[in-house]
Chain A
Amino acid sequence: MLSEIVDIIVYFLLAIGVFFNLLGGVGLLRFPDVYTRLHAETKCTTFGSIFICGSVIIIGLKMWYLGNTDGSVLAIHTAGALLAILITNPTGAHAIARAAHRSGVKPVAAVVDDLEDKPVKKEGKK
């Protein structure tokens, strides 16, 4: 009884995660600009990764509850991988966007670009 309910929850989480990951891929293909592509793929893949790793954590906890000791190792290590994704993915996206704007790639069909007039801050040489 409990095992079937947990399985249904796991299928639901997997469906949400796969849907958002595929959406990230399609957005990466279809959008016209660097910034919109970055917007689509970063948010969608981070959100989908949360759900897929959550389903793996739930399966690990279920294995642990049923008496298999490998389940706890699986759950804890997957939580570590999820934490790594959650920290590194938005930070990398921010770095890429900043580098793209400073290297001269303009947004397509942008009406207002607030960062255009600002001078690039020069770091003092030692």
Chain B
Amino acid sequence: MIEIDTTYLIVLGFILLAMIMAIIRVIKGPTAPDRIVGLDTINTFVIIGMVIFGLAVGSVIYIDVAIVYALLSYISTLFIAKYLEGGEF
């Protein structure tokens, strides 16, 4: 049976593959909301990748960074959506 850390690195490779698909959508996207959807997906994959990498390397500090990254990317997504909507803050 494979070592558990190696398995997590393989999982990280698959997450990277999904992230490449999202980057293709960001480049190709016909309208602006398509690109925002791609960016939101990349943010979620980065959070998951940080959690997995923190376990594979064995340091918990990556998971703390992942929590902060989740909250900041949420705020940025809300601001871009509000900008597209064209309302007042």
Contact = CB atoms under 8 A, between A and B. Distances in A.
Please tell me the size bucket of the interface on A: 35 or more
Secondary structure class of chain A's binding surface, majority of residues: helix
A77 B18 contact: no
26 contacts: A14-B11, A22-B18, A24-B41, A25-B19, A25-B22, A28-B37, A34-B34, A45-B41, A48-B48, A52-B11, A52-B52, A53-B48, A53-B51, A73-B60, A74-B63, A80-B67, A81-B51, A84-B70, A88-B71, A89-B40, A95-B81, A96-B81, A99-B33, A99-B85, A103-B85, A123-B87
Nearest to A62: B4
Given A45-B45, A59-B4, A96 B70 contact: no
B40 to A, nearest CB: 6
Interface string A78-106: 10110011001101110110111011010
B44 A99 contact: no
A102 to B, nearest CB: 5
A81 B74 contact: no
A116 interface: no
Contacts, number: 147
Given A29-B24, A56-B51, A88-B70, A7 B1 contact: yes
A103 to B, nearest CB: 5
Given A28-B21, A85-B44, A95-B81, A78 B51 contact: yes
A9 interface: no
Given A28-B25, A85-B70, A99-B33, A10 B85 contact: no
Given A29-B21, A85-B47, A59 B55 contact: yes
B31 to A, nearest CB: 6
A69 to B, nearest CB: 11
Contacts of A77: 60, 63-64, 67
A21 B63 contact: no
A19 to B, nearest CB: 9
Contacts of A46: 44
